[in-house]
Structure 1
Amino acid sequence: MDILTIFKALILGIIEGLTEFLPISSTGHLIVFGDLLNFNSNGKVFEIAIQLGAVLAVVFEYRQRFVHIAKNIGRDAAANRFVLNLAIAFIPAAVVGLIFRKAIKTYLFNPISVATALIIGGFIILWIEKRMATREPKVKTVDEMRPKDALAVGCAQILALIPGTSRSGSTIMGGMLWGIERKAATEFSFFLAVPMMIAATTWDIYKNWSLFTVNDIGLIIIGFLAAFGAGLLAVKALLKFVSSKNYVPFAYYRIAFGGLIWLTATMGWVKWS
């Protein structure tokens, strides 16, 4: 491994960790920056590793809650409802993803598609935040969520299959539009990331097991640790942020970032793949 490749792996790991839980699309950022950096490692294997690093950051941050749920499932009504809600929210995107995953990756995994989704998603966030400013949420905490609330969030998560849309963005905004309080929607999005990303990682490992080589181990470790550390910071910072502010700044970031990609493509400054 040369120093430049190590640096690229570190950068992409940090990008995955920071963007996975923000409503700005981690997949979109990895596609764009991976293209810019011309990252030549085994991309699929590396992507699997850093996604797992990011999701484990949520498990670590909420380790006490997950342990409590594991100990009390089957015996405590709140624990049972929490697991049921996660299962219900998990199903829609998982089913649609299995059916259309190949087509989506073939036609939409490119910087221009990402830029388009970023811009459209930015305007949708602005609209939802404006709409919610005059409405009182019906569900104030994750523990108050009912199965139909979880289903609404799960259906919104289907949009996240489009790169550039953002899994966290679609679930948080979908939850808020349904009537879930901003912080509660954000926390549920964090929790939902765990089964969703573990399932996706397991599937990718199964499909791409033959691609794993000893030569990838060093870069995988670097990217994994970078994603874990950045993810932990992102989770803590986002919860603190939404306690007193809204998602409007992220909407403007999406629009500006997507617009910049379109501008560079139109002007020929960057030859996007």
Structure 2
Amino acid sequence: MNFLQALILAIIEGLTEFLPISSTGHMIIGSSVMGIASDPFVKLFTICIQLGAILSVVVLYFKRFFKTFDFYIKLVVAFIPAAIFGVLLSDKIDAMLESPLTVAISLVIGGVILLFVDKWFNQATVTEEKDINYLTALKIGFFQCLAMIPGVSRSGATIVGGMSQKLTRKAAAEFSFFLAVPTMFAATAKKLLDFFKGGHTFTKDQIEILAFGNIVAFVIALLAIKSFIGYLNKNGFKVFGWYRIAVGLAIIILILSGHELSVI
């Protein structure tokens, strides 16, 4: 991986991390097109730079992260399902991270759901994080587990999960952002551990590329978050649903027509 490839993937991550279109899925497709998706460092990179994007949440919502102890308990409760299933399904998740076809199918299915989610969950009564109880947080955490399938979208799954529990779109999106912080810290730590346990080490260039990618993802995500919240409040999910369907179908057509996107 070179700096240009890192820049492309980091921009993709920063733009898509908080949109319900799957940042991991887009990075898998991007790395597959560039022919680098099977490299162990690239797999690590696509996970670790998500931490850079997630840190933009801490900056933008700094005061919220130092508000009440109850806030942290909710995040821990919501994080538990992903922690358990992430450990149990680690090998299967790694295998799926190399499959553009899995991403494409997930994009289409998720897109269809997003076309109707605003109609399904239009009786919101929870407008702020302080009104979310522990059981609701746990249920949202189970929705987050769906995002272990590449192409599902962590933010999409948790926002829809929140809306299913009568959170407003804004409240669901913000809680999704908050939950991303412990989730991506844990995912990054585990990926680093697996990388070193696999006998790999960082070269000087790789350390520089990883740092560069995180900085780029952080800056781009910082600019993208508030735009997304504003758009979501006014317009809902339909445009993201159609986008997912279009991209997913395009990838499936390319694969079926013999184009080499898969690196397995």
TM-score by length of 1: 0.89
* 2:83 aligned to which of 94, 99, 124: 94
* 1:264 aligned to which of 244, 254, 258: 254
Asked whether the 8 Å contact 1:20–1:54 carries over to 2, the reply is yes
Asked whether the 8 Å contact 2:17–2:53 carries over to 1, the reply is yes
Give the whole-Å Cα distance in 2 for the aligned partners of 1:39 and 1:32: 10
Within 5 Å, give how 1:226-241 maps onto structure 2: 226-241=216-231
TM superposition outliers: structure 1 runs of 4+ over 4 Å: none
Query: Are 1:115 and 2:118 matched, yes or no?
Result: no
Alignment: residue pair count: 258
Matched with 2:162 is 175
Q: 1:271 to 1:118 in 2, by over 3 A?
A: closer
Within 5 Å, give how 1:53-202 maps onto structure 2: 53-66=52-65, 68-69=66-67, 79-107=68-96, 109-132=98-121, 135-202=122-189
For 1:230, the aligned partner's letter is I
Which is worse superposed, 79-88 or 41-50?
41-50
Which is worse superposed, 209-218 or 50-59?
209-218
Query: Are 1:33 and 2:60 matched, yes or no?
Result: no
Asked whether the 8 Å contact 1:45–1:212 carries over to 2, the reply is no
Q: Shift in Å at residue 108 of structure 1? A: 5.7
TM-score by length of 2: 0.92
Give the whole-Å Cα distance in 1 for the aligned partners of 2:90 and 2:16: 21
Deviations 1:102-157 (A, max 9, x none): 1222246410000000100111112222223xx32121111111111111111111
Larger radius of gyration between Structure 1 and Structure 2: 1
State the identity as a percent. 43
* SS of equivalent to 2:20: coil
Which is worse superposed, 42-51 or 56-65?
42-51
Q: 1:116 to 1:48 in 2, by over 3 A?
A: closer
* 2:204 aligned to which of 214, 222, 242: 214
* 1:225 aligned to which of 210, 215, 219: 215
Give the whole-Å Cα distance in 2 for the aligned partners of 1:16 and 1:30: 7
Which is worse superposed, 242-251 or 157-166?
242-251
Q: 1:12 to 1:62 in 2, by over 3 A?
A: same
Q: Shift in Å at residue 65 of structure 1? A: 2.1
Q: Shift in Å at residue 44 of structure 1? A: 3.1
* SS of equivalent to 1:268: coil
Q: Shift in Å at residue 225 of structure 1? A: 1.4
Which is worse superposed, 231-240 or 8-17?
231-240
* SS of equivalent to 1:244: helix
Asked whether the 8 Å contact 1:23–1:169 carries over to 2, the reply is yes
Asked whether the 8 Å contact 2:117–2:237 carries over to 1, the reply is no
For 2:258, the aligned partner's letter is G
Asked whether the 8 Å contact 1:14–1:230 carries over to 2, the reply is yes
Deviations 1:196-240 (A, max 9, x none): 000111111222134322121232232111111111112121112
Give the whole-Å Cα distance in 2 for the aligned partners of 1:13 and 1:55: 12
Q: What runs of 5+ residues in structure 2 fail to find an aligned partner?
A: none
Deviations 1:4-40 (A, max 9, x none): x322110100111111111011111111110001238
Asked whether the 8 Å contact 2:12–2:23 carries over to 1, the reply is yes
Give the whole-Å Cα distance in 2 for the aligned partners of 1:200 and 1:229: 21
Matched with 2:233 is 243
For 2:55, the aligned partner's letter is L
Q: What runs of 5+ residues in structure 1 fail to find an aligned partner?
A: 70-78
Which is worse superposed, 234-243 or 204-213?
204-213
Give the whole-Å Cα distance in 1 for the aligned partners of 2:49 and 2:261: 26
